[in-house]
Amino acid sequence: MTENNDVELEARLENRERFEPPQSFVEQANIVDDAIYDEFEQNWPECWTQAADLLDWEAEYDTVLDDSNPPFYEWFTGGSLNASANCLDRHLENRGDEVAIEWVGEPTDEDDRTYTYNDLHREVNEFAAALRDLGVGEDDIVTLYMPMVPELPIAMLACARIGAPHSVVFAGFSADALATRMNAADSEFLVTCDGYYRRGDALEHKAKADEGLSGVDHEVSAVAVVDRLGDEYDHPMAETHHDYDDLVAENAGADVEPVSRDAEDMLFLMYTSGTTGQPKGVKHTTAGYLSWASWTSQAVLDIKPEDTYWCAADIGWITGHSYIVYGPLALGTTSVMYEGTPDYPDRDRLWEIVDGYEVDQLYTAPTAIRAFMKWGSQYPERHDLSSLRLLGTVGEPINPRAWKWYYKHIGNEDCPIVDTWWQTETGGMMLTTLPGVKDAKPGSAGPPLPGIDIRVVDTRGEEVDPGRAGYLTVNKPWPGMLRTLYNNDERFISEYWAEYSDTESDDPADWVYFPEDGAKIDEDGYITVLGRVDDVINVSGHRLGTMEIESAIVGVQGVAEAAVVGGQHDIKGEAVYAYVITEEDSEGNDDLHDRIVEGVEDAIGPIARPEEIVFTPELPKTRSGKIMRRLLEDIANGEELGDTSTLRNPDVVEDIAETVGDD
Ligand code: WT7
């Protein structure tokens, strides 16, 4: 395409606000009838039998929704099933030789690994038997601290097979973060990995796992270690540590009967950041979660068994759980899994994979799209991307410019884009367009999915007018919702329900879920999510608690006080800004700067590393002593400073603004 044409096209797209589903897509889409919205509304909650029908049940459920004890809702009660049987066994007869996981390692000179459903079934059985040998019983929580190796989904499904909930800890998290999560879950088993490849380097991981284990306050019975790096990294093994390959070899050919789980039995825990320093253990169940991941994969990602589908996320986050592992495998499709980064060995790696495997759907995050855009369209242009039929985004708001770049340069103006809003807690997608039914509007996630009741309200819970900013609320339960915070029903209520519910009532109509996001709705009912309204920031689609980062910083010697806020960032969406007051006798801030960075990396991980650390003699506080984060955010964003008259110390703000402006 000539440059002139390009500019013309750009201009034409720039003012376009609606994008109807391409005809070629509609002709083959899983859902094409708009009537589903009304049908689900009229037939709620029975409409969700449609999700349950996507699963194979050992015992049929007798109640779709038990709402007798809100907000502790239960779905498909009386039913029993096994998640691993749903993701594997039931596909064997007709699709055993079809590919389940297409794994691409980062080094380009290494062979990709292809797992058919038969292969995956075999290895899951063998590892499930091995877990049993190690003493894992039903309901024991197994922690998986693993990078993007095939053994991660294998371990997840092996846990599911024997009814042991998994708790996956993102490999980029620190040793401390691992210990905190194992302690909170009382988890006595760990599966980890010697290391992995990142931008050409072999990264050690086992040493970090060992350090984490030393911070666990109870006995850890067994650790299984996957050997990813071979001879590159020789890791010491304690007596309770077992080599993954040995464990699987000892159980070669094992056949493990899938344990029958009640619909409401826990499938997994996933720790996520919240307002306080302590991560929240989000509990998901077998039937509700799996049906939700499956139904949304089919309805929104338009997955069919014959597709090659790719969610370029990390399984260490909920996106990977729902949309690399459980949803796609339950539907019997081929799920691509990539170990490395998009810019290794060059900035066209993703496009090479899409081209090579003829990927049908690509699901990624706005932060990645903004990076692709910055790198330029010459990288995707090197490859044939015509296999793509749908694109998706998740994790943070997408700006219309990035949306349109994705639409044009990756989708060739021929793929619908689904901008999907959801959370760790929702289990799967909540707000987005059904791609064969609804027009997309760049920058707006879209209307709630059928059967989902989401409203934008003011602080009193009254719906706001179109165009006005308000808060998102979910007014009816849904199958994929979290059931509670592990071992903490009280916090479950105070974090998610107290704001808009009558917590004394046992009438479900009085209970409203608050996701802690700000939003706007337009005349067509399309919702634009504005971002978190709590003390959580979203860095490259990753959720970080400001309190967690602050407590890491004040743990550094020489720091007296710290405040952390999110500031806008071109690629990352938000970045971490830390304002730090030093102790009187601490000299030499350069060294302190490095120690703070180190402290944050040790406590959380490199993803939480501050973009900027501002040393200041004071923090802006209200008369009651509360830090005014809003003002610090304005400073980080270089914005006009608003009203500072309610401050105890208004001059401070100007001083800090000058410090930030200096560099
Ligand atoms: C928070 C949830 C959803 C799985 C990955 C992140 C933000 C998520 C969107 C979107 C605007 C979004 C929200 C939400 N978010 N998707 N499409 N548009 N914001 O899961 O770590 O639980 O974070 O991510 O602020 O509350 P998470």
Instruction: Show me where the domains of the chain are located.
Output: 115-259, 456-529, 535-662
The confidence score (pLDDT) of residue 596 equals: 96
Whether residue 10 has pLDDT greater than 80: no
Q: Residue 605 pLDDT > 80, yes or no?
A: yes
Helix (H, G, I), strand (E, B) or coil at 599: helix
CA of residue 58 to ligand 1 center, whole Å:
34
Strand ranges (DSSP E) for 365-504? 390-394, 417-420, 454-457, 469-474
* Residue-wise pLDDT tens digits, 89-117: 999 999 999 999 999 999 999 999 999 99
pLDDT higher than threshold 90 for residue 573 = yes
517 CA distance to ligand 1 centroid (A)? 9
Question: Which residues approach ligand 1 with their CB closer than 6 A?
Answer: 272, 317-319, 394-397, 419-424, 445, 515, 517, 529, 531-532, 538, 543
Kindly give the distance from the C-alpha atom of residue 27 to the centroid of ligand 1, in angstroms, as a whole number.
Answer: 31
Mutate to test the pocket of ligand 1, among 322, 393, 423, 526 (most ligand atoms within 8 A of CB): 423
Tell me which of 325, 394, 514, 534 to substitute to probe ligand 1's pocket, judged by most ligand atoms within 8 Å of the beta carbon: 394
Taking only the tens place, the pLDDT of each residue in 509-555 is 999 999 999 999 999 999 999 999 988 999 998 999 999 999 999 99
User: What is the CATH number that goes with domain 115-259?
Assistant: 3.40.50.980
Arithmetic mean of pLDDT, 323-329: 98
Same fold, 456-529 and 535-662: no
The percent of residues in the chain predicted with pLDDT above 90, rounded, is 86
pLDDT at 634 over 90: no
Mean pLDDT of 569-592: 86
Nearest ligand 1 atom to the CA of 542 is 21
Rg (CA), the chain: 25
Mean pLDDT for the stretch of residues 584-604 = 86
Nearest CA to ligand 1 atom 1: 423
Indicate whether 663 pLDDT > 60.
no
Asked if 103 and 315 count as a contact pair (C-beta separation under 8 A), the reply is no
- In the reported structure, the alpha carbon of residue 640 is separated from the centroid of ligand 1 by a whole-number distance in angstroms of 28
Per CATH, the number for 535-662 is 3.30.300.30
Confidence of residue 588 (pLDDT cuts 50, 70, 90): low
The mean pLDDT of 590-600, rounded to a whole number, is 92
* pLDDT at residue 419 in the model: 98
Ligand 1 pocket test target in 271, 425, 473, 517 with most atoms within 8 Å of CB: 517
What's the mean pLDDT when you consider all of the chain? 94
Q: Residue written as tokens 């997994």?
A: 268
Three-class SS state of 590: helix
Instruction: Give the residue, by CA position, lying nearest to ligand 1 atom 6.
Output: 395
Report the separation in Å between the CA atom of 577 and the middle of ligand 1, taken as the mean of its atom positions: 20
Distance 195 CA to ligand 1 centre (A): 29
CATH of domain 456-529: 2.30.38.10
- Hunting for tokens 């700067």 — which residue is that? 593
If you measure from the C-alpha of residue 332 to the centroid of ligand 1, how many angstroms do you get, rounded to a whole number?
26
Do 109 and 316 form a contact (C-beta atoms < 8 A)?
no
| pLDDT higher than threshold 90 for residue 28 | yes
pLDDT of residue 7: 73
Q: Which amino acid is at 652?
A: V
What pLDDT score does 2 carry? 46
CA 557 / ligand 1 centre spacing (Å): 34
Q: Find the mean pLDDT for residues 235-264.
A: 97
Atom from ligand 1 closest to the CA of residue 322: 4
User: What is the pLDDT, as a whole number, of residue 609?
Assistant: 96
Both structure tokens of 21: 């589903």
71 has pLDDT over 50? yes
pLDDT at 1: 43
**CB-neighbour burial class of residue 170 (10 A; exposed 0-12, middle 13-18, buried 19+):** buried
The secondary structure element, H or E, covering residue 167 is strand 166-168
